[in-house]
Amino acid sequence: MTGHGPLVLVIGDKQLSSWSLRPWLLMRHMGLPFEELRLPLDTPRFAREIERYSPARRVPVLLHGDLHVWDSLAICEYVNELVRGAAWPADAAARAHARSICAEMHAGFAALRSTWSMRAATVGLEVDLPPAARSDVERVEAIWTACRERYEGGGPWLFGARFCVADAMYAPVMLRFRTYGAELGPVARRYAAHVLDDPHVADWIRGAGQEIAVEGRPESHA
Ligand SMILES: N[C@@H](CCC(=O)N[C@@H](CS)C(=O)NCC(=O)O)C(=O)O
């Protein structure tokens, strides 16, 4: 049994919260209507209110009636339940591959994350990569290239025709690559162009720009 009632996704700033983007984008792609509740990071409001939603005191959190699901990957799994398995590839081998790269993203790439922090609406930043972060970028590119070479015949997403959890999990890193101008090979570049053309991704970037321009939210962490 799942939760009941409207779905509410608690997220952080669209400019900064890479973890929030993952389930947000997946829910958009799965066509699940949801309300967005944004708690701006590093504010007294966040400190005051987050406890209501998550014992881990972090965003994202998905609220479904009394059920609170926290952690981006756990939310993606719950979304997959709501859409009866449509959020992962249909084929078991492809699904195992997708789960492997999602686990790798969820648990790794610390050097890349800390050097190129997500700034969704910002482009043209120049920040040199230390060797560990450079190998993270190479590994992400190798992951995308392997997926595209294997599943390109089926369609433009990592696992072919359908957007899946893996595309959602790798979307934030794509925005980092856009902001800092990562140099990618042709296969990864094609995938990047497809993701950056996605209307939901564009919507998130637009939201990030509005936070900065209209609400005066900071462009980066202090
Ligand atoms: N593993 C968690 C990490 C969530 C996380 O670190 N969220 C950050 C924002 S992107 C947060 O809530 N930071 C608030 C704080 O540390 O006070 C997930 O995947 O959801």
* Category of 71 on φ-ψ map: left (φ > 0), alpha (ψ -120 to 50) or beta: left
Q: What are the tokens at 24?
A: 């947000």
Provide residues with CB under 6 Å of ligand 1: 12, 17-20, 41, 58-60, 71-73
| Torsions phi, psi for 209 (to 5 deg) | -65, -40
Q: How far is CA 118 from CA 32, 125, 163, in A?
A: 25, 11, 22
**92-202 sits in which CATH class?**
mainly alpha
Mutate to test the pocket of ligand 1, among 10, 19, 53, 106 (most ligand atoms within 8 A of CB): 19
Closest CA to 11 of 49, 210, 44, 29: 49
210 class by beta-carbon count within 10 Å (0-12 exposed, 13-18 middle, 19+ buried): middle
pTM: 0.97
Q: 7-85 and 92-202 share one CATH topology?
A: no
Closest CA to 136 of 104, 165, 102: 104
Determine which helix (DSSP H) or strand (DSSP E) holds 19, and give its type and residue range.
Answer: helix 18-30
Provide CATH code, domain 7-85. 3.40.30.10
Sequential pLDDT tens for the chain (222 residues): 788 899 999 999 999 999 999 999 999 999 999 999 999 999 999 999 999 999 999 999 999 999 999 999 999 999 999 999 999 999 999 999 999 999 999 999 999 999 999 999 999 999 999 999 999 999 999 999 999 999 999 999 999 999 999 999 999 999 999 999 999 999 999 999 999 999 999 999 999 999 999 888 888 875
Domain chopping of the chain, boundaries = 7-85, 92-202
